[in-house]
Chain A
Amino acid sequence: MSTTSPEALQICEECDTVHRRRAMTHGEVGKCACCGATLEHYHSLDPNTMLALVLTAFVVFIQANLWPIVTLGLNGRQSSTTLWGAIIAMWQEQAQVIAVIAAATLFFFPLVKMLSIGWLLWFARQHRCAPGFVPIMVTLHYIGPWTMSEVFVLGALVAIVKAKVYFDVMADPGIYAYAVLTVLITIFARVDMRELWNMRMKESV
C-alpha cells in the first residue's frame, strides 16, 4: 500500500474504486472498470485555443442577450423580446421565483462561468497560476450543473411553434446567437476544466 504515491492514483467519483493513472493517447477516454463512469478525457488542453473559444463564446453571449430573440406580429402591431424581457415579464407577473431561476441559470451563472474560465486560461497560457485560482475553481465546480442556455434555445423553438398558430412570427438575430452559443457550449462540455488542477500541481512542486 505504501509503495505507490497518491499522485499515481485516481479514484472513481461514482463508485470509489481506486485506479492507477496511466499514460493516455490523444482523444482517449478512461473508463472505470467497475462502474463504467468516465475517469478522465485525455486532451492536451491547449490554453490558447481554449481562450479563443471562450472569448468567442463571450461575444456571442453578449449579442444573444442584447438582441431580440423573436418578434410577433398581430394586425400590424409588433412585439419582441430579449432574455431580460422574459425575466422582467416573469417578475412583474407574480412569478418572481421563475424570474430568479431564469436570471441565474441563463445569465449570471453562464456569465460567471465564462469570465472565470477566461481568467484562469489567460494565466495558464503564461504558465502562471491565476490570482484566486482555488476559490474560482471551487465556484466553477458548484455552478457547473446550473447553466441552462441550451434548454432555453429549445424553449425558444417551442415558443415560436406555439405562437405561429396565432401570430406572424419572425426569428430575430438573438435566436441565432443563442444557437451558436449552444454549439460552443457543447464543445466546452467535452473539455474537463479540472485538468487545470493538475497543471497547477506540476508548477508548484
Chain B
Amino acid sequence: MSAPEKVPALPRAADLGLIGCHVCRLVCREAPDDDGGMECPRCGSALHRRKPASYTRTWALLLAAFMMYVPANLLPIMRTASLNDVDDNTILSGVKELWVNGSGDLAVIVFVASIMVPMLKFLVLGTLLISSQRRTDWAQLQRAKLYRLVEFIGYWSMLDVFVVALLSALVRFNVLSRVEPLPGVIFFGLTVVLTMLASMSFDPRLIWDSRDSDD
C-alpha cells in the first residue's frame, strides 16, 4: 500500500474483453450471442459489464425511500396505552425515553441505527450517484470505502421495527397496559427495505469509470 503516486494502472476487465459474472464471479470472455446478450456458462445468469440501468434504478429507489423516510420520522411508530394515559412514540421520542431512563448506551445504538444510518445512506448514495454520473476521479478510494460501509451497516436500521414488533406482542394486558404499532413503523420498515435495494442496485464499478476509460 506504500506504492508511489505513479503505479502502472492495473488492467480492468472491460479493457481486456473480460466480464466477471456478478453472481458466481466466473471470469468469462466477452462474446455476445445474436441478440447481444450473454449468459454465464457456469450459473446461467445474464452477464453485464455493469449492473443494468444502475443509475436509473438507484435514483428511483433512493427517492422512493426518501418519500417513505419523511412520514417514518414524523408519524408515531408505536402507541403505549395504560389505564389513564395514551402515549404515541416517534423514533426520536423512543431514543429520548431510553436516554432519560438511564440506558445511555442503548439510546446511542438506537439513535445510530434508526436515525444516523438511514441519513448516512441517503447522503452517501446521493454523493456516489452524482459524482459517478459526472465521471470524476475525485476521492475514488474513499468513495469505494463509503459504499462498502453503507452496504455493511444498512440492515441494522431494522432494529426499531423489531423492537416495536416485540413490544406489541408482549405488552397485552387488556385495559391495564397495551402497545400497538402505528403507521410510522410501516413507513420506516419500507424505508429500510428500499434503501437496501437502492444500495444493491448501485454498481460500485461506476466509481472507477472516470472520463478516460471507455464504457
A residues sitting closer than 8 Å to B (CB atoms) are 1, 6-7, 9-11, 13-19, 33-37, 69-70, 72, 74-75, 77, 79-81, 85-90, 93-95, 97-98, 101-102, 105-106, 134, 137-138, 141, 145-146, 148, 151-152, 154-159, 161-163, 165-167, 194, 197, 201
Contacts and interface: CB of A to CB of B under 8 A. Distances in A.
Interface of B: 10-14, 16-20, 22-29, 42-45, 49, 94, 97-98, 101, 103, 106, 109-110, 140-141, 144-145, 147-148, 151, 155-156, 158-173, 176-177, 180-181, 185-186, 189-190, 193, 196, 200, 204-205, 207-208
Which 4 A-B pairs give the minimum distances between C-beta atoms? A155-B162, A11-B20, A89-B169, A6-B27
Given A101-B161, A159-B163, A14 B144 contact: yes
A10 B27 contact: yes
B165 A89 contact: yes
A138 B45 CA distance: 8
A81 B16 CA distance: 57
Contacts of A74: 173, 176-177
B174 to A, nearest CB: 9
Contact of B200 (A19, A33, A145): A145
A53 to B, nearest CB: 22
Contacts, number: 207
A19 to B, nearest CB: 8
A145 B156 CA distance: 11
Contacts of B162: 86, 102, 106, 148, 151-152, 155-156, 159
B41 to A, nearest CB: 10
Contacts of B147: 14
Nearest to A166: B177
A107 to B, nearest CB: 12
A80 B169 CA distance: 8
Contact of A9 (B18, B98, B176): B18
B28 A6 contact: yes
A154 B196 contact: no
Contacts of B13: 11, 16-18
Contact of B10 (A13, A33, A141, A159): A33
